[in-house]
Amino acid sequence: MLRVRCLRGGSRGAEAAHLIGAMVSRTVSGWVSHAFRSTSSSATSVTEHTPEDCPVCAYNEWDPLEEVIVGRAENACVPPFTVEVKANTYEKNWPFYQQHGGHTFPKDHLKKAVAEIEEMCNILQHEGVTVRRPEPIDWSVEYKTPDFTSTGMYAAMPRDILIVVGNEIIEAPMAWRARFFEYRAYRPLIKEYFRRGAKWTTAPKPTMSDQLYDQDYPMRTVEDRHELAAQGKFVTTEFEPCFDAADFIRAGTDIFVQRSQVTNYMGIEWMRRHLAPTYKIHILSFKDPNPMHIDGTFNIIGPGLVLSNPDRPCRQIEMFKKAGWTVVTPPTPLVPDNHPLWMSSKWLSMNVLMLDEKRVLVDANETSTQKMFESLGIKSIKVSIRHANSLGGGFHCWTTDVRRRGTLQSYFL
């Protein structure tokens, strides 16, 4: 049985610091097992002070959603075909990047994506959610830093760059050069939230110099990728901290993360130190040849309820079962093979957005997934975003939940 602990007062001793070298040298599963046990055995609690009128507040992925940022497809550009982009895309799509890198996505497709996201915003508002949008920007403009030259990409996926933890909104540093200045589209919103009382933190911005990337990262086949991932080898090095916010997923005082092609151990350690002692960071790993963003692999949808991708099994899943969690295997996606998914897999079908414990935003075409939610007693709010999927995200990716009505709790006792 799942046990939930409300955090009302007291203090928790500071978690012992773990050096990056220790993280890397140990097996990931051993590290997580130790961290998980220490969380489970904790008998103390903490207080999280969040003013009732704070515009920013979220502790998990399922409390009643009150305000959300929805991304924009307008002016979206294909990123230049650099080593970090190559490592995160499949070989069948490489010609597309070689042809269109630095230019806008196909205009007809983009127009349909824009219309789908507008309809998604309308439906969210109809469900009682306040919708905010980033600023439209011309992402085709070339920019230059002392370390690289690039064009931009988009402000389509706020989940990648922003994460709300309590009453704090954190800007992720990112790991793709094409996304270096993506934060500019969100700054007007974040400044507004800050003026109204929210905490605002920007993680250290990486230089994204050549040292951050393994310039000789060897990938040709899916088998190559599986072998490299199993060996803990990724295109990003440990030269400096980097992470995408979408590699983290929240469950009260426990936040789960994966080491991926865009999130390194230094980035994870920065978040661990920044959020301690109130929150604990746990590293998970998956049998995934191309790890990038956790929410299409492991999506927590309720207290003690998680969707776990059958094609990318979690190596630490037994710990969730022992904690009383229900692990749900989502059905095979129904995306047609000929539908372009330039930046993601078909498993965007499980990349859903919970409006509360009993309502979920799910693709109108994914009837099998809708039936799964029906069996769980959750109502599907159906929206079609097939063309928006092509840009690299599902409902969870296309949004950042700014405010959810709930309290800080622990779901592991």
Residues 240 and 112: their CA atoms lie apart, in Å, by 38
Q: Please enumerate in sequence order all residues whose Cβ is within 8 A of that of 112, keeping only pairs 6 or more positions apart, or say none.
A: 387
Rounded-to-integer distance, Cα 302 and Cα 20, Å: 31
Residues linked to residue 254 through DSSP beta bridges, in sequence order: 251, 280
Q: Which residues are catalytic?
A: 244, 293, 397
Partners of residue 164 on adjacent β-strands:
169
CA 18 to chain centre: 24
Please calculate the CA angle 166-169-175 and round it to the nearest 5 degrees.
125
Distances (CA, A) of 256 to 45, 179, 251, 295: 19, 23, 8, 11
Residue 164's φ and ψ, nearest 5 degrees, are -100, 125
Output Rg (C-alpha) for the chain, integer angstroms. 20
Q: Measure the CA angle with vertex 177, ends 175 and 182; round to 5°.
A: 85
Report how far Cα 106 is from the mean position of its chain's Cα atoms: 25
Task: Say what the alpha-carbon torsion angle 386, 391, 392, 397 is, to the nearest 10 degrees.
Answer: -80
The tokens for 209 are 């110099």
CB 354 within 8 A of CB 62: yes
Helix (H/G/I), strand (E/B), else coil: 150: strand
Asked if residues 143 and 181 have their Cβ atoms less than 8 Å apart, the reply is yes
The helix/strand/coil state of 306 is: strand
Residue with tokens 């306040």: 130
Amino acid at 114: V
The tokens for 325 are: 């969690």
